[in-house]
Amino acid sequence: MNETPGQESDAGPGVPPDADEHLIREAERIAVALGRMFPDLCEVVLHDLRNPDHAIRVIENNLSGRQVGDSATELGLRRISDPGYPSVIQNYANRFPDGRPVKSTSIGIRNASGDYIAALCLNLDVSVLSPLTLTLSNLVATEAEHQGGSLETLRDRSARELRRVVESRSAERAASPRALPREAKRELVRRLREDGYFGSRDAAQVIADLLGVSRATVYNYAR
């Protein structure tokens, strides 16, 4: 917990806080400030690498479903085991558990001895930006690009193709799938059902994750 002005450190009256802990507490403030600057768009996570089994100290804009106290990622473990690991890994491709594409940056934080004690990670949800790209693509598309017959079933289709269709149809409304109003989500699900996209066993769950609703809600929309 951050100390307020005039508050004694946990070590006792007159005893300065541990230097590493002080550095991590300062990083906590940065993590919170960054998260609040990009609400619902960029997840900001501070990992305490001194405690890899319960590394997460702060998570702002929780988009990945992780919690404070969860373990470090593979990248964090590499920094712990290798002091020579790069301090900054920037703009690398990543994905949230529900499949949404992410652009990530990880910043290692060293103490005065040069050891990694923390990592500040930013995970930008690029799926909310993709509708704009898709809308522009549709504006310049020619008829030849849309030929090839109607859609059939999802029996042999991947979740990636279903995701592309959902994002494309959401882009027609200039919104991300999760930002669609309820009636628009209902209409989208009904169109997917009519076009045969419920032929796969996992289709309902994929659609639910994309729209940010429950699987039961997807089936209710499909009726």
- 185 vs 177: CA distance, rounded Å: 8
Q: How many CB atoms lie within 10 A of CB 174?
A: 11
Whether residue 203 contacts residue 158, with contact meaning beta carbons closer than 8 Å, is answered with no
Domain boundaries, the chain: 19-125, 130-139+153-222
What CATH number should be reported for the domain whose range is 19-125? 3.30.450.20
Tell me the per-residue pLDDT of 44-78, one tens digit each, with 9 for 90 and over: 999 999 999 999 999 999 999 999 999 999 999 99
DSSP 36-69: HHSTTTEEEEEEETTSGGG-EEEEES--S---TT
> Can you give the pTM of this predicted structure?
0.55
Tell me the per-residue pLDDT of 13-50, one tens digit each, with 9 for 90 and over: 444 459 999 999 999 999 999 999 999 889 999 999 99
